[in-house]
Amino acid sequence: NAGVTQTPKFRVLKTGQSMTLLCAQDMNHEYMYWYRQDPGMGLRLIHYSVGEGTTAKGEVPDGYNVSRLKKQNFLLGLESAAPSQTSVYFCASRDQGEHYSGNTIYFGEGSWLTVV
């Protein structure tokens, strides 16, 4: 059981280039999330999805787009990469349930992106 898998793990981009980060989960989870983590900033939510075909903006959505065409996949796109987007990106997923149930969130191993 792989859990949450992110690809690629490392990538270097030039300013203005585009790329897509892929997140795949094999737990049949409804909810999926993309975060970025920067030193001293903690995890910040970029976009999230509550089900196939849905997406919503998080705390820092500018410069990113997402798609959830299939339930198991959540794609994060950078249309025109900027040095400020140099970061570690984490994908996460959790099962559907009432908030009070506290469904565990499962994270991927991260994708290190450098924009030069």
Interacting residue ranges for another protein, rule: CB under 8 A = 4, 31, 33, 35, 40-43, 45, 48, 50, 56, 58-59, 90, 92, 99-100, 102, 104-110
CA distance linking residue 95 with residue 71, whole number of Å? 12
**Least distance between another protein and beta carbon 35 (Å):** 8
Sign of CA dihedral 85, 91, 96, 101: negative
DSSP-based three-state secondary structure for 55: coil
Q: How far apart are CA 91 and CA 72, in angstroms?
A: 12
CA angle 71, 76, 77 (to 5 degrees): 135
- Beta-bridge mates of residue 42: 38
Distance CA 51, CA 62 (A): 21
